Amino acid sequence: MTNSFDDPTDEATHRGGFGEFAGETTGLIDRSFREQIVLVGVQFPGASDDQVDANLNELAQLVDTAGADPVDRVIQKREAPDPATYVGKGKATEIQETSDGVDADTVVFDDELSPAQQFNLEKILKRTALDRTAVILDIFAQNATTLEGKAQVELAQLKYHLPRLRGRGNQLSQQGGGIGTRGPGETQLEVDRRRIQRRLAKLEKDLSGLRRTRKNQRKSRRRSRFHTVAIVGYTNAGKSTLLNRLTGAGVLVEDRLFATLDATTRRLQLPGGETVLMTDTVGFIQKLPTGLVEAFKSTLEEVAEADLLLHVVDGAGPDPEGQMTAVRSVLREIGAGDVPELIAFNKSDQVKDEGLQHLLHRHEGSLGLSARTGEGLEQLLSSIGDRLRSLTEVVDLLIPWSRGDVIAAVHREGEVLLEQHEEDGARIQARLDEISQDLLAEFIDVTSSEETR
Ligand SMILES: Nc1nc2c(ncn2[C@@H]2O[C@H](COP(=O)(O)OP(=O)(O)OP(=O)(O)O)[C@@H](O)[C@H]2O)c(=O)[nH]1
Ligand SMILES: [Mg+2]
């Protein structure tokens, strides 16, 4: 071993995933090749049985997407998490026995565990204890394809692992471990803390370079004066299917969580003839790790700077309203809380008519559609056009000749409808959005703007 971790070499935590079990058999039954997982949820006051079940169903889906098998689940009712072991110590022992019973490799908790809780739990459970964040990071690590995506995931993984390295060095350095040991950061976990810090600094530097590039791309797009529409929504809602259907973008579509990690932008012509730029990007989930949001800053800036958000909701999913709430909370976190939003309930082909009507009724201005069959897409395109037009207003400006910079700004930021050269300046009629109107307020000729309306 070449690492310098402080490692108590707790035998019990040396249970990896996958690789270790290749060909291994227990008695007469072939041991499943996939990592076997026990799921644990805590029901805090105020959470209903259904909610806890739904959360664990989602965790099971996450675990399955990460390539492991949920084999059992345990729920504990508690007032608050135990600071040392998250669940009570007695419960932890019970989970250890359950895990022995089903021969589980790993226990996954439906919340973020502190490094200390994780460490203590592994001692009691005699096996790896992971949290929801580790599973999400693992899926991201498996799905990252581009340079930027990989760097973002590695950054999030290293930041997550750094405080958890104590005592886990040997285990993490095992080859072919299960959830939590894969990904671009995998080999880095074998080296010492200082080298990880250096790696973090390098990643942050690379990413800020990529971020600058993206910023410049956005600037040039803005100069093109096309409005931008960002598709947002819960993971697996059908965002990529919709972009593909509308633009033939060819983005990967899968019945998997977090199939898309990178942003893809395509041009799209609306029925009114105007062109918009539509971006598909990473999906959200409840309890999305903040470290991940932070690492994906540059990708998510695409969303925060869009003119309109097309919020795609799985209308046929178990909890459309809950998913919308989770998406909006992430939107606020990334500074996109104020961007106008058009809600589209997708998968209308799979939902009963009254169910869809109920959702549409509750959310004014929302639409139902099916990205799969194409139903409702014409209506969607015309609504996007309407919403974008409603964000702009026709105004008249009088700009003195000495302010060539302002005249240029109007051309850049708005759509110039008329321009007359007069003695005291350029008289311009232009369609401008609210931000440009604010910036150009002193040049707006209120009297004549009102006349033309
Ligand atoms: N029945 C039905 N299924 C759909 C529809 N739209 C998408 N799907 C399915 O939903 C699953 C997820 O679709 P994606 O387009 O990958 O979803 P996404 O929102 O991009 O998901 P992530 O990128 O993983 O966040 C796939 O199996 C799609 O075939 C629809 O209108 N009806
Ligand atoms: Mg997608």
Is the beta carbon of 249 within 6 A of some atom in ligand 1? no
Residues linked to residue 7 through DSSP beta bridges, in sequence order = none
**Beta carbon of 236 within 6 Å of any ligand 1 atom:** yes
Of 29-38, 226-235, 265-274, the range with the lowest mean pLDDT is 29-38
8 A C-beta contact, residue 257 and residue 61: yes
* Averaged pLDDT, 354-359: 94
Q: For residue 243, give the ligand 1 atom closest to its CA.
A: 15
Contacts of 190 (CB under 8 A, 6+ apart): 2, 3, 172, 173
Q: Could you please state the CATH topology (level 3) that the domain comprising 225-389 is classified under.
A: Rossmann fold (3.40.50)
Q: Which residue in this structure is represented by tokens 């990904």? A: 183
Q: What is the pLDDT of residue 222?
A: 65
Residue 192's pLDDT band, with cuts at 50, 70 and 90, is low
Provide mean pLDDT across the span 334-339.
93
pLDDT value of residue 250: 87
- Let me know if 274 is exposed, middle or buried by CB neighbors in 10 A (0-12, 13-18, 19+): middle
Mean pLDDT over 170-193 rounds to 55
72-81, 301-310, 379-388, 439-448: which range is least confident on average? 439-448
The pLDDT score that the predictor gives to residue 18 is 27
Higher pLDDT, 10 or 113: 113
Ligand 2 geometric centre to CA of 139 (Å):
13
**Model-level pTM?**
0.80
Radius of gyration of the chain (CA): 26
Topology of the domain covering 392-452: Alpha-Beta Plaits (3.30.70)
> Domain 11-190 is classified in which CATH homologous superfamily?
GTPase HflX, N-terminal domain (3.40.50.11060)
**Res. 12: pLDDT tops 50:** no
Q: Are the C-beta atoms of residues 350 and 316 closer than 8 Å to each other?
A: yes
Measure 258 CA to ligand 2 centroid, in angstroms: 7
Query: According to the model, what pLDDT value does residue 294 have?
Result: 85
User: What atom of ligand 1 comes closest to residue 350's alpha carbon?
Assistant: 1
Q: What is residue 185's predicted lDDT score, i.e. its pLDDT? A: 53
Q: Which residue has the higher pLDDT, 437 or 383?
A: 383
- Domains 11-190 and 225-389 alike in fold: yes
pLDDT category at 214 given cuts 50, 70, 90 is confident
Are 105 and 180 in contact by the 8 Å Cβ rule? The answer is no
Q: What is the mean pLDDT of residues 304-321?
A: 95
Residue closest by Cα to atom 30 of ligand 1: 347
pLDDT at residue 15 tops 80: no
Our answer on whether the CB atom of 448 is closer than 6 Å to any ligand 1 atom is no
The domain limits of the chain are: 11-190, 225-389, 392-452
Lowest mean pLDDT among 22-36, 270-284, 383-397: 22-36
Least confident of 13-27, 207-221, 273-287: 13-27
Instruction: Please state, for a pLDDT cut of 90, what percent of the chain lies above it.
Output: 60
pLDDT band of 183, cuts 50, 70, 90 = low
